[in-house]
Amino acid sequence: MKTTADVIIVGGGVVGNAAAYYLAKRGVEVLVLEADDSIGHGGSSRNGGGVRQSGRDVRELPYAMYGIKHLWPTLSEELGVDVEYHQGGNLRLALEESHIDILKGQAERATALGLDVKLIDGKEVHEINPYLSDAIIGATWCPTDGHANPMKTTLAFYKRARELGARFISGEKVVELRKFKGRIRSVVTESGTIYEGNTVILAAGYESREISKTVGIDIPMSLFYETCLVTEAQPPMFDIMLGVATAEIYGHQCDHGSFVFGSGTGLEPSKVPDSSDLRVPALDVSANCRCIMKYVPMLKDAKVVRSWGGWMDITHDHVPVISPVEEVPGLLLACGMSGHGFGTGPAVGLLLSQMVVGEKPICDITPLRYDRFKSDR
Amino acid sequence: MIISNDRLRDIGEFIPQPDDDILICRCEEITKGEIRRACHDGIFTMEEMRRYLRNGMGLCQGQTCSKLVKGIMARELKISPLDLEPATSRAPMRPIEMEIYARDGGNVG
């Protein structure tokens, strides 16, 4: 078996698969190593499917907006799989005056960044979406946000990259990186296999931290757990992404008719951080149901079919690390996606491919550097 | 469990079969042909298959079809069914209305 490639990508999530696709498309020889038996086993397939610009940091917005403008609209056609992308807008809902205060601040910050987000009253909310609770007194409205199917998107990038000749090896957990003459060279896996490449892209979520430590680089990030539920199919109602001012829940109706909602109980910060523990805590689904019914009471008779959970890799400042590493030439980091990895995945994959081949990147990525974390004392 | 899995492993070409239109997952109406084709798209595990096609994601949660899917995939991938891990079973065991699921004694207003 061939163990060398121009570019070795560690991590078969949406970012790794998208990078593999854009690199293969540019004629670069690429090899992806995924620790799990299944491609897209982590957060890439477990998130609620938001493709958003609202709520993003000023450092992320340029590529988040690029993806929504230039990549998502044609992605299904390009990859040959329907990724169920809809640009139906995003409503962030308020039930009380204190919620409106939160939303006001968010709308002001987003508008200052040049994003079309406005605060609207209860009447306008119900004109946009008549299926919501009468108790809703206002919302922010971002018409250019949307959602897609995370499971299919992640696998669609894999499928198309594979068709273009990208090699993927699953069940191959990377444990160490090694330099040769000052440059990145080898990728060592748990099975003892040593892969060699000129460039290594590290896109393994939180696990990137242990791996990058083997060449002396540590990214300050932590694990955060969230759960989702899905209902049985409902009649088509709306293709708007929903969020709430208190950030308790978010969700949307899928093409399939089912509703997917993400949430937590509020107890998550105390959860033992262990990315191999994917069990949904007993309290989660009930709490999620209660929150959903506050905002969309007509779903009270909808049956919950499944629940699942996943871990996010949250950096210290909640903004991803997308960066070359000067101390380890040839190593590119794409980790700490901080819960924003799915919607921005295609753009991040494109950025990585541009960094590899030396194309002018779609935006300036210096604000996303790995060494930006400094003590404030 | 497959320890190392090269996704460019040659499984031959997709050859249409007369019963490709037969429904395997009745809840989500997924056919045998769709499952076989997905194997040629690189879908090599049962977890990937249900994310790709939605088989086993309906009301019965794959209780009817998962054994059939496993057999079809194993034949198409030219491996033993024992090498295919079943996809994760997920709560609730039976679909439950939100209003009822919400009553766990938590913060009920």
Query: Binning pLDDT at 50, 70 and 90, where does residue B107 land?
Result: low
Cα dihedral A14/A19/A24/A29 (nearest 10): -110
Pairing of strands A167-170, A30-33: parallel
| Closest chain A residue by Cα to residue B107 | A287
Cα dihedral A342/A343/A347/A349 (nearest 10): 10
Q: Mind listing the pLDDT tens digit for each residue in B78-90?
A: 999 999 999 999 9
The answer to whether the CB atoms of B6 and A37 lie below 8 A apart is: no
More confidently predicted of B3 and B60: B60
**Which 79-98 residues of chain A touch chain B by CB within 8 A?**
81
Residues of chain A neighbouring B106 (CB-CB closer than 8 A): 283, 286-287, 290
Q: Does A172 touch chain B (CB under 8 A)?
A: yes
- Residues B63, B87: contact at Cβ < 8 Å? no
Residues of chain B neighbouring A278 (CB-CB closer than 8 A): 88
The answer to whether the CB atoms of B95 and A303 lie below 8 A apart is: yes
Q: Does A305 touch chain B (CB under 8 A)?
A: yes
What's the pLDDT score for residue B108? 52
Distances in Å between the Cα of B26 and the Cα atoms of A28, A228, A360, B17 are: 42, 24, 49, 19
What's the pLDDT score for residue B106? 77
Q: Mind listing the pLDDT tens digit for each residue in A144-193?
A: 999 999 999 999 999 999 999 999 999 999 999 999 999 999 999 999 99
Query: Binning pLDDT at 50, 70 and 90, where does residue A344 land?
Result: very high
The full DSSP string for A299-310 is GTTSEEEEEEEE
Nearest chain B CA: its distance from A102 CA (Å): 23
Report the distance separating Cα A173 and Cα A34, nearest Å. 6
Q: Does A152 touch chain B (CB under 8 A)?
A: yes
**A interface test, pick of B98, B104, B107, B108 with most A CB neighbours within 10 Å:** B98
With 60 as the cut, is the pLDDT of residue B2 above it? no
Residues making up chain A, counted from first to last? 377
Q: Mind listing the pLDDT tens digit for each residue in B7-47?
A: 999 999 999 999 999 999 999 999 999 999 999 999 999 99
The answer to whether the CB atoms of B98 and A299 lie below 8 A apart is: yes
Please, what are the domains in chain B? Answer: 23-101 (1.10.10.1100)
What's the pLDDT score for residue A113? 87
Is the domain spanning A221-315 CATH 3.30.9.10? The answer is yes
Percent of the residues in chain A that have a pLDDT greater than 90, as a whole number: 96
User: Which of A159, A167, A287 lies at the smallest CB-CB distance from B106?
Assistant: A287
What's the pLDDT score for residue B3? 43
Query: Binning pLDDT at 50, 70 and 90, where does residue B91 land?
Result: very high
What's the pLDDT score for residue A282? 87
With 80 as the cut, is the pLDDT of residue B109 above it? no
The answer to whether the CB atoms of B4 and A172 lie below 8 A apart is: yes
**Which 21-40 residues of chain A touch chain B by CB within 8 A?**
37-40
What's the pLDDT score for residue A280? 93
With 90 as the cut, is the pLDDT of residue A264 above it? no
Cα–Cα nearest to A167, from B11, B8, B38, B10: B8
Average pLDDT taken over every residue of chain B: 93
What's the pLDDT score for residue A98? 97
Residues of chain B neighbouring A169 (CB-CB closer than 8 A): 4-7
Domains A4-79+150-220+317-368 and A221-315 share a fold: no
User: A195 CB contacts (<8 Å, ≥6 apart)?
Assistant: A3, A4, A5, A8, A31, A33, A186, A187, A188, A189
Residues of chain A neighbouring B44 (CB-CB closer than 8 A): 170
> Which option is the CATH number for A4-79+150-220+317-368: 3.40.309.10, 3.40.50.12280, 3.50.50.60, 3.40.640.10?
3.50.50.60
Task: Enter the tokens of residue A190.
Answer: 């748990």
Residues making up chain B, counted from first to last? 109
The answer to whether the CB atoms of B3 and A191 lie below 8 A apart is: yes
ipTM of predicted complex: 0.95
Q: Mind listing the pLDDT tens digit for each residue in A275-330?
A: 999 999 989 999 999 999 999 999 999 999 999 999 999 999 999 999 999 999 99
What's the pLDDT score for residue B1? 42
Q: Does A191 touch chain B (CB under 8 A)?
A: yes
Domain boundaries, chain A: 4-79+150-220+317-368, 90-143, 221-315
